[in-house]
Amino acid sequence: MTEVKKHYRSNPHLYRLLAITVLWMLFMAVTRFDKFYTFKNFQTIAAQFPEFGLMSLGVMLCMMTGGIDLSCVGVANLTSILCALLMTKLAGESGVLSPATFPIIVVVVLAIGALCGTFSGLLVAKVRIPPILATLGVNELLTGICMVLTGGAALSAFPKEMTTMLAANIGGVLPVRLLVFVAMAVLVWFMLCKTTYGTKLLLLGTSEKVARYSGMKTERMLIRTYMTSGICSALGGLMMLSTYASARADYGSQYTLQTILIVVLGGVSPNGGKGKISGVILAIILLKLLESGINRFQNISSYYISLIWGGVLILAMVMDYVTGDKRSRA
């Protein structure tokens, strides 16, 4: 019992998210069991959340430094558009994309994300522009580039071999997109928990001055973090391309706010220096379960989803404030 209490005190946010998730699942079991608890529904959930889930991982890393990345959707859309154009180019006159070109496309995706993220990191670390302004500006810049490349229209006339593969289910059960998300989540977890990067990231978020005096190269650390966030967003863009089977400058516009909600709800402090990937992953799953459950009530408009997300976020923040205040008085 003592160990349980100790673990709860070190992870109160995680336990609260678990409690909310369990309560929601019980509510759906009582009210819409036959419509919610189906294999197809859970398979759809598993296939849909990776695109914004990948972006959330990047936003989480930036927020742990005390900053934020608002360029995730711009990076994702630019990646999907450039990939669509590249696929058309690689297919040539045959119009068929060879599997041998898939690794080339993946490398290009990672390169686009790394370049965009590095650009944001340079603005934050070297030019010292506040992260919220720097990344918002980068997002608008990338969206403008997307508009120029597409003329504001959707790109759909490109070879679909790779996107079809990403949209498929292994054995008819496991979505390929879920495996991509899991692989990236494991990599981020390894970086945070099994390398010095995680310790340095939290120290940087707690106090940049202390981190600098301790010998940390804070500028390099910030650039590396925003570069990683860019890679996460680029992979999210590839998942979006497989979901929509098209690319456009304004796809996923709702994901910017959604990723911030997920990261804060997952227990990452907006001030930096605090956060765990387990809480963020659970928040991703919870919000997707909420959305899927609400859609099962025909008399409730889908417009209420944002309202409920905001309510859950405020409730979690209030509970965190109350429990944190109690711990400070103890």
So what's the pLDDT on residue 321? 67
Kindly report, residue by residue over 75-101, the tens digit of the pLDDT: 999 999 999 999 999 988 777 888 899
d(CA 128, CA 121): 10
d(CA 254, CA 216): 36
Q: Is 1 within a domain?
A: no
More confident residue, 265 or 194: 194
So what's the pLDDT on residue 329? 46
pLDDT for residue 111 is more than 80: yes
Q: Where residue 3 falls among pLDDT bands split at 50, 70, 90?
A: low
Give the strand pairing for 169-170 and 174-175: antiparallel
The structural domain count of the chain equals 1
Q: Where residue 328 falls among pLDDT bands split at 50, 70, 90?
A: very low
Q: Is 170 helix (H, G, I), strand (E, B) or coil?
A: strand
Q: Is 74 within a domain?
A: yes
Q: Where residue 323 falls among pLDDT bands split at 50, 70, 90?
A: low
Kindly report, residue by residue over 58-80, the tens digit of the pLDDT: 999 999 999 999 999 999 999 99
Q: Is 3 within a domain?
A: no
Kindly report, residue by residue over 11-55, the tens digit of the pLDDT: 777 888 888 899 999 999 999 888 899 999 999 999 989 999 999
Q: Is 2 within a domain?
A: no
Q: Is 111 within a domain?
A: yes
Q: Is 187 within a domain?
A: yes
What is the CA angle 290-291-292, rounded to 5?
Answer: 95
Q: What is the CATH number of the domain that holds 246?
A: 1.10.3470
d(CA 157, CA 88): 8
Which domain does 20 fall in, by range?
8-329
Q: Six-digit token pair at 315?
A: 């409730």
